Copies of this chain bind each other. A is one copy, B any other.
Amino acid sequence: MKAVLQSYVDGFAAGDPAAVAGLFADDAVIEDPVGHPPVQGRAAIDEFYANAVGAGTKLTLDTPIRGSHGSRAAMAFTVEVPAMGIRIRAIDVLTFGEDGKVTRMEAFWGPDDIEQ
Question: What is the interface size of chain A, counting residues whose CB is below 8 A from a CB of the partner?
Answer: 29
Chain B residue nearest to A75 in the complex (CB): B91
User: Which residue of B36, B66, B89 is within 8 Å of A109 (Cβ)?
Assistant: B66
So how many copies of this chain end up in the complex? 2
- Taking CB atoms, residues of chain B closer than 8 Å to A47 are none
With A36-B69, A69-B34, A93-B93 as contacts: A108 and B74 at CB distance below 8 Å: yes
Given A34-B68, A35-B71, A74-B76, 17 more A-B residue pairs with CB atoms under 8 Å apart are: A33-B69, A33-B70, A36-B70, A62-B63, A63-B89, A66-B110, A66-B113, A67-B108, A67-B111, A67-B112, A68-B110, A69-B110, A73-B108, A74-B74, A74-B91, A74-B108, A91-B93
